[in-house]
Amino acid sequence: MAAWSNGAGSGDGVAVATRLRDHSHFAVRVATSVGVAVLAILLSVGLAGCAAGKPPVVPSDDDAKVAVTVRVVDNSFEPSEITIDAGQAVNWVFEGPSSEHDVVADDGSFVSELMRSGSYTHVFTDAGSFDYLCSTHPEMRGNVTVE
Ligand SMILES: [Cu+2]
């Protein structure tokens, strides 16, 4: 009688241990899928962030009379801060020499292609303070103040 009880008892014990093992397996699987889901969300947010990082290119005003020229060199805009009057044009001359750069306004109002040579011109019709950067070298920053 006692032996039968012990047998049944240990049998239950094995069953409980098996259930626990299954349960922890399940927990690991859930944790893994949650991890993968979170990673997927982070990745898509990151990619969306990149896609939204550079606004569409704004065509260069090539025919405009240039008031101020800014050199785009590795890795700065020279001069980085300029002041013009409304209606005047700024001409950025890309000199590289080692990297491609672009001119990207924070508000998207002027945006060039990535270039190693050539130039980009933008006419500023409205007064204001326009910050811009190079999309591949965010430490390259400049400002155009339009009076
Ligand atoms: Cu750059």
CA 141 to ligand 1 center in whole angstroms: 9
pLDDT at 110: 98
Q: Peptide bond before 75: cis, by omega within 30 degrees of 0?
A: yes
* pLDDT per position as a tens digit, 108-137: 999 999 999 999 999 999 999 999 999 999
The confidence band for 26, taking pLDDT boundaries of 50, 70 and 90, is very low
Annotated domain spans of the chain = 1-53, 66-146
CATH fit for domain 66-146, picks 3.30.70.20, 3.40.50.2020, 2.60.40.420, 3.40.47.10 = 2.60.40.420
Flag whether pLDDT at 31 surpasses 60: no
CA 136 to ligand 1 center in whole angstroms: 5
Query: Rounded to two decimals, what is the model's pTM?
Result: 0.66
Flag whether pLDDT at 99 surpasses 60: yes
CA 147 to ligand 1 center in whole angstroms: 27
Interior angle at CA 139, CA 116 and CA 126, nearest 5: 80
CA 28 to ligand 1 center in whole angstroms: 45
pLDDT at 121: 98
CA 55 to ligand 1 center in whole angstroms: 16
- Percent of the chain clearing pLDDT 90 (strictly above): 64
The confidence band for 52, taking pLDDT boundaries of 50, 70 and 90, is low
- The β-bridge relationship of strands 66-73 and 76-78 is antiparallel
CA 23 to ligand 1 center in whole angstroms: 54
